Structure 1
Amino acid sequence: MLDFSKNYFELFDLPLGFTVDAKRLAERYRALQAVTHPDRFAVAAEDEKRLSLEASTQVNEAYRTLKDPLARAKYLLELHTGDPGTDSETSKDGAFLMEQMELRETLAEAQTSPNPRAAVATVLTHLAEQSVALDKELAGLFAAPSPASLDAARELVRKLQFLDKCRRDAEELDAAIEGHY
């Protein structure tokens, strides 16, 4: 049914790297789901049902991981180094951290600004631009993985984690502001 020893890139028949063809990823996901979905095994033996459920779960997890740039970067670090090692670490870039604090202050002040949704939108735009820039850097670092490039990638993943958390907070704030109008 499914070779559980394959990494997510092999499972989806994609080249190992940060840049992923989203269309091909979606096509492979649909094809794998068509083969592994538990509904196809509703009348099968218990072992086949269990394997189908495990395969479908792995396909779903692989798809979520490869679709999300932050999760994909962490997964690549794990494949290359054996440990993504980024969850408990913080960025070492002081200027970046100061910028993140300023963005957080802007979000805090947005609630009392004359146009709170515009303030949040400005933050979200800035975060999206930073994420795109970091994604481009990660693509280059993972294209030629070496100890130095993987260390640099690990630092960029830490930064992406900050951006992702700030983005989620900004989206929550935007939804709360929208609910008040």
Structure 2
Amino acid sequence: MMQFDFSRNHFELFDLTPQFELDGAALESAYRDLQGQVHPDKFANSSEADKRASMQWSTRVNEAYQTLKSPLNRAVYLLQLNGINALSETNTQLAPAFLMQQIEWREAIQDARAGGDLPALQQVEREIAAQTKTWREQLLVQLDQQQDLPTATNTVRQLKFVDKIMSEIDDAYSALDN
């Protein structure tokens, strides 16, 4: 079996520049190429050691791909490469304005759900999607251009909260469908 270096980070694994802005097609292509080399099916008639190594590499390639494919996970990973745990439970500071906005969104979701108001729920979703797009654009600048890791950490934490709110919206849609 060919040798792979487990010490390489996810970006190196796919031969990509470690940055927030990512060429999705290049990631997809590199992922398919690597999976073609390490997929367990390719080693079905190989030694047990090669089968195990293939399984480990296939798992590693999948994890790296899933991390880099998601903008939020990619940002968390970039910060991690710089020694920052953006989602540390000890880091609980968020701007009061953001916390108030989050409360307003959650209340609007609850009201729409309780009232069976699909248009109101869709409006909240559009608002959050627009804010998410803005924060992702800010992350691009913060991580790739300014290397402003503390500010990027805060942006990532806000996006993680919004991710949870989007799950609440999905739950509300399910409740309205029933």
- Fold conserved between structures, TM > 0.5: yes
Aligned mates of 2:35, 2:121 — CA distance in 1:
38
Task: Determine the structure 2 residue equivalent to 1:133.
Answer: 134
**Partner Cα distance (2:175, 2:54) in 1:** 40
| 1:82-121 alignment runs, 5 A limit | 83-88=84-89, 89-113=91-115, 116-121=117-122
The residue type equivalent to 1:166 in the other structure is I
Q: Counterpart in 2 of 1:22?
A: 24
Distance in 2 between residues matched to 1:123 and 1:32, nearest whole Å: 40
- Structure 2, unaligned runs of 5 or more: none
Q: Does structure 2 conserve the Cα–Cα contact (< 8 Å) formed by 1:18 and 1:73?
A: yes
Worse overlay, 98-107 or 168-177? 168-177
Point out 4+ residue stretches in structure 1 off by more than 2 angstroms: 89-92
Report the TM-score, using the length of structure 1 for normalisation.
0.91
Alignment: residue pair count: 175
Query: Aligned residue for 2:48?
Result: 46
Look up the equivalent residue of 1:40 and give its one-letter code.
K
Give 1:145 shift.
5.7
- TM-superposed CA distance for 1:126, in Å, is 1.3
Check if 1:72 corresponds to 2:71.
Answer: no
TM-score by length of 2: 0.92
CA distance in 1 between partners of 2:117 and 2:63 (Å)? 36
Q: Secondary structure at the match of 2:114?
A: coil
Match of 2:124 in 1: 123
Q: CA deviation at 1:118?
A: 1.7
**What are the Cα deviations for residues 89-109 of structure 1, in whole angstroms up to 9, with x where unaligned?**
334211111011000000110
Unaligned runs of 5+ residues in structure 1 are none
Which residue does the alignment assign to 1:159?
158
Q: Is the 8 A contact 1:65 1:75 kept in 2?
A: yes
Contact 2:86–2:156, Cα closer than 8 Å, also in 1: no
